[in-house]
Structure 1
Amino acid sequence: MNLINDPLQLASHGPVIPVIVIERVQEALPLAEALLAGGVSVLEVTLRTEAALPAIAQLAKTLPEAIVGAGTLRCAADAQRAKDAGARFAVSPGYTPALGAACRALQLPLLPGVATSSEVMTALDDGFSFLKLFPAAAVGGHALLKSWASPFAGVHFCPTGGITPANAPQYLQLSNVRCVGGSWLLPGDAVRAGDWARVTQLARAAQALRPA
């Protein structure tokens, strides 16, 4: 799959991209296998812990059927580390032209975060039209995205932050929303207990969220 020219292909694999925080590298493989068993193949591992990059490297090497990416990129150095670890795409909480340029130079598809109209326009100027609204619920959520549909025709979004199984279908009904990001697929208690069957069940339910 060529994500370089069309990062929007990430959304073609399902309505939810899990936001994954890995505390211990040994959890990475069973966690990812549980998500794959539930039909979720696009995995965003956030660079919020020391275990993140080793986990990305392990998953990229061990599970070629998974599309493993790195989240919480904030600078060019983050992009380089993610690429070196084997990440196939990147996600950022915000956007800067420097980060966009770094990802392009590395041929690392970027889903950049935006929270305002000005940030959308900056990303568009740099050629990015598939964007992450973050933190979605805090900055206007469904109402904001609905209001952006007309002035930003042709721009697609992945809202993340405050998305739940209860409100995800409302977001997914919007014409400019292609998928959502969420952490509910990986409850902390389930991960700590190694309850991978529960993770698989949540992943399977997430795959069914997109409205007909």
Structure 2
Amino acid sequence: MAGPSTAALEDALDSLVDAGLVVERDDGSLVTTDDFESARRVYRDSYADIDDDAFRTTVADAFGVDESTAAARIDSGAVTREDLIAYLSLRSTLDDVDDERLATMATLVAELAPGSPVPESLTELDDESWPEFVEGDAVVTVWRHDCAPCDALKDDLDAVLSGLPADVAVAGIDGESAPEFRRAFDVDSAPAVCCFEDGELEAVVTGRHSPDTYHDRFEELY
């Protein structure tokens, strides 16, 4: 079976962007949005590790084909678990989209990574930029995808950071994409608020807490 045409893919991409499920970053790369990832998280938890028989049956049910056809599509590589997860996620998110169009959209989003978990209000660091950033007094917040406490802390972030002196630099880092940072400071959970003083890590607060908890620690250090 031939795959979707270039025109069909471009049209599907436009629809994903219009629906707020895919965005284009400043560098031109495409990423899925938090709205889509919230849906994909649910289906990934349910279907990422199902056995082959359950996978075949779910593909047959999802695409309205018999199990032999589903098996052929799976064996040919036309449908992977990530394709299935993307398809089911889109079907739960979008209204009035026919199955063929959903399948075309699924081929696109299955290949796209989610955007950064670092809040847009923060400067984002990586393993190349953090060493210079922490040379003085600084706070580095650590985030990851599929993290309910991280999402909750984002709602409180302005209140949390209001307790910092103006001369303390603040940034965020995607912990999963910065293994050197994690190893250097033994940070193995998210969210985490890492407090540096004169270039030295002085405190790490992990998990989500009330703003006052962070304010107390900031007052001790700065």
The alignment's TM-score, normalised by the length of structure 2, stands at: 0.25
The structure number with the bigger radius of gyration is: 2
More relative contact order, 1 or 2 (CA 8 Å, 6+ apart)? 1
The alignment's TM-score, normalised by the length of structure 1, stands at: 0.25
